Chain A
Amino acid sequence: MEVFVFSLFNGILYGMLLFLLASGLTLIFSMMGVLNFAHASFFMLGAYFAYQISDGIGFWPGLIFAPLLVGIFGAIIERYGLRPVHRFGHVAELLFTFGLAFVIEEIVQMIWGKVPVPYDVPASLNVTAFVWQGLDYSAYRLFMLLISIAIFVALFFGLTRTRIGLIIRAALTHPNMVSSLGHDVPKIFMWTFGVGCALAGVAGVIGGNVLGTEPGMAIQLGPIVFVVIVVGGLGSLGGALIASLLIGVLNNLAISYDLSLYPIFSAFGIERDVDGILSDLVNLTTGGIAPLVPYLLLVLMLIFRPRGLFGMRDV
């Protein structure tokens, strides 16, 4: 029971981190049609900026300034990099963000090296929050959860209850109409891109010290975020939330239980002492196939239901 509760809790936490990345990405994708390949790279930049700032000043200024820096950097990239490419079409934009991800990874390696940097949990939060059935839970994880829930609530209210949110939601589906009504759609794009990158930066700041801050972190997380936005449905924040939690919880449960798939095979009369490809399959555990599950979900979703769980239109 306690294993279940704790892996559920960790799954929700991982899911909320995924959501911070996916919310920005899904807004950018459905608004501009650009699949931002470099979105996870902004997550990585957030973690590295936070490391650098917390090294010099402290964790708390890092929490404020690192996402700000990442957001500004993202807005500049949109204005001077992505916008000129827009006229060559979506494939060119995709290629641009792909190249950008490549370049950012190399630059990060150049400045901070190839090995993980020692970005640690701040000492003030590195304490046990509560002990439940003999397992203790760290205060920092609780703090991560609070921050991500706060951002979700702020984002939700910002999009549904404010005038800016109204314009953004309108630009998601009818960019030409919004432009005809006198709004500067390119500027809305730029700010949405910037804010999306800043959200990814926040995820980097609070997640970098738990998941590890290293140059490979972007390429590990990036494709999973794509899975989230496709499964959740384009432009749907609620869908992104549910898909993030689903993938986060599934992943954590599969790894912490690590059940063997042998009973399924033995039901078909396949025993452990077989040769060849079956021997690999018989010895599989759920922890072993956990990395496969998101991508299987992505491929199946794109084939059978391209609009995702809650999307209004196809990818």
Chain B
Amino acid sequence: MKILSNKKTVGSLAVIALLCLLPLAVNSGFALTVMIQCGVAIIFALAFNMLLGQGGMLSFGHAIYFGLAGYVTAHVMNGMSNGDVPYIPISLIPLVGGFAGLFFGILIGFVSTRRAGTPFAMISLGFAELVTALTLIIVFFFNGEEGVQTDRWVREELFGITYGPDIEVYYLVAFWCVVSVAIMYAITRTPFGRICNAVRDNPERVQFIGYSTHRVRWLAFSLSSFFSGLAGALHAVNVEHVGFETVGLAQSAVILIMVYIGGTGAFLGPILGAILVTLLTSYLSDITPAWYLYLGAIFVSMVMFAPGGLAGLIAMHAPIRQLGSRCQLSMIPSYSLAFCTSLITLAGGVGIIEMLYFHSTTAVRDATMTLYGINLSVSSFWPWLACFALLCLGYYGCTKTYPRMVVTYNENINLVRERMFQ
């Protein structure tokens, strides 16, 4: 059986080549850091989606495998430099994290995967709170609020790699990212991957054909924990510090939001979400203090209006490619109108949020802020009215343009269907 079509092989090779060349194109240290974070986030997001997308299990505590593996990795690296632990090359240390994640995944997964749906989500939350509470109790392993400090420069490895400079860490992360993505993709194509999907969609029927849903979920959970642990180890190598926040609810929330925004239905969705959210977090969190509010708002609107995530939206429009360019061009006006009205609504909403933040954080009276390149005073009435007017106008526009966009989409999709049946 051929796993990859020629087209996909070429695509993957192109991506690998791009990953190798990318650091040559950027020359700022910050961009390199962001790319390393992206790589870690991609592995973690795909691991999370093995549960949420492929297995139908919503976990609120998946960061515990990420974080615990990070702690184990940090301890192993410290032990290696003390000589307490036999030497393992840093290039292979992600595997240590992976097996640590696997260990905790097998342990906790056994009890938590008996049920799916809401009970599973609640148990995962319970374990998340349990581990968070333990970080402050078991000082020996977690070292309290301080966390565990480590050093990735243990000794020189093959080809003189020391993992001192960030660029070497980048290639380490890129290598493990490609390997894990390939393995996780391969898993989705195996009979096990398929039975996972079946357990998600109809557990009763799976039991009738002789599978234990508990075992399938448990295996999926353990595998997912392995890759989460691998990501956690890479995080520890990259940051050289593991703190209690890596196992916490906030970390679990961020990964859930990433995966959902990217899209749980497609394999590439979480990758898209991980890259997008990491990029936005790195660059927007400097510009606006309200970044987490926007992230939450994007997430909520995704849940309400686009449950398939970005990948779902792209997949919806994939059949349109079969149409001629005339039909495709005919879609542009209604789509761009909807885009413009959304932009107006967004401008109004963002303006209000930014002014509110500015208002609540500055103590100085009559201070001026810059919004959209305009200097304005928050204490005056006009900017608020203007933003509110933009918001209302945009919202009213959206109620007109969105139905039109849906109509255009349906017309074109029907055209595609007609052609298919001809």
Contacts and interface: CB of A to CB of B under 8 A. Distances in A.
A256 B248 CA distance: 27
Interface string B122-164: 1101110110011001111100000000000000000000000
Nearest to B52: A91
Contact of A292 (B125, B130, B140, B303): B130
Q: Which 4 A-B pairs have the closest CB atoms?
A: A106-B293, A99-B300, A102-B296, A103-B296
Interface residues of B, number: 45
B297 A35 contact: no
A289 B136 CA distance: 10
Contacts of B360: 110-113
Interface of A: 33, 35, 81, 84-85, 88, 90-92, 94-96, 98-100, 102-103, 106-107, 110-113, 219, 223, 226-227, 230, 276-277, 279-281, 284, 288-289, 291-292, 295-296, 298-299, 302-303, 306, 314-315
B137 A280 contact: yes
A41 B357 CA distance: 20
B111 interface: yes
Contacts of A92: 303, 307
Contact of A110 (B115, B293, B299, B303): B293
Contacts of A96: 300, 303-304
Interface in B331-365: 353, 356-357, 360-361
B139 A280 contact: yes
- Main DSSP-derived SS at the A contact region: helix
B378 interface: no
- Main DSSP-derived SS at the B contact region: helix
Contacts of A111: 356, 360
Nearest to B357: A110
A95 B114 CA distance: 21
A214 B300 CA distance: 23
Contact of B122 (A106, A289, A315): A315
For B119, B122, B125, B134, the residue with the greatest tally of chain A CB atoms inside 10 Å of its CB is: B122
Nearest to A96: B303
9 contacts: A33-B118, A35-B121, A96-B304, A102-B292, A102-B295, A110-B356, A227-B126, A292-B137, A315-B122
A303 B111 contact: yes
A100 B300 contact: yes
Contacts of A223: 125-126, 129
B268 interface: no
B412 to A, nearest CB: 24
A98 B249 CA distance: 12
A85 B137 contact: no
A39 B111 CA distance: 27
A280 B293 contact: no
A279 B123 CA distance: 29
Interface string B85-121: 0000000000000000000000000010011011101
B260 interface: yes
Contact of B60 (A81, A98, A295): A98
A74 to B, nearest CB: 16
Contacts of B187: none
Contacts of B253: 98, 102
B83 to A, nearest CB: 18
B292 A106 contact: yes
Interface in B229-269: 249, 253, 256-257, 260
B58 interface: yes
A136 B325 CA distance: 82
B290 interface: yes
Contacts of B114: 303
Contacts of A291: 133
A110 B361 CA distance: 8
Contacts of B39: none
Contacts of A276: 140
B293 A306 contact: no
A75 B303 CA distance: 19
A102 to B, nearest CB: 4
A90 B139 CA distance: 39
Nearest to B301: A99
A147 B173 CA distance: 57
B122 A226 contact: yes
Nearest to A284: B137
A296 B260 CA distance: 29
Contact of B119 (A85, A88, A100, A302): A302
A90 B118 contact: yes
Contacts of B249: 219
Given A91-B118, A110-B290, 16 more contacts: A35-B122, A84-B304, A95-B260, A98-B60, A102-B253, A103-B300, A113-B361, A277-B138, A277-B141, A280-B140, A281-B138, A289-B137, A292-B134, A295-B127, A306-B119, A315-B119
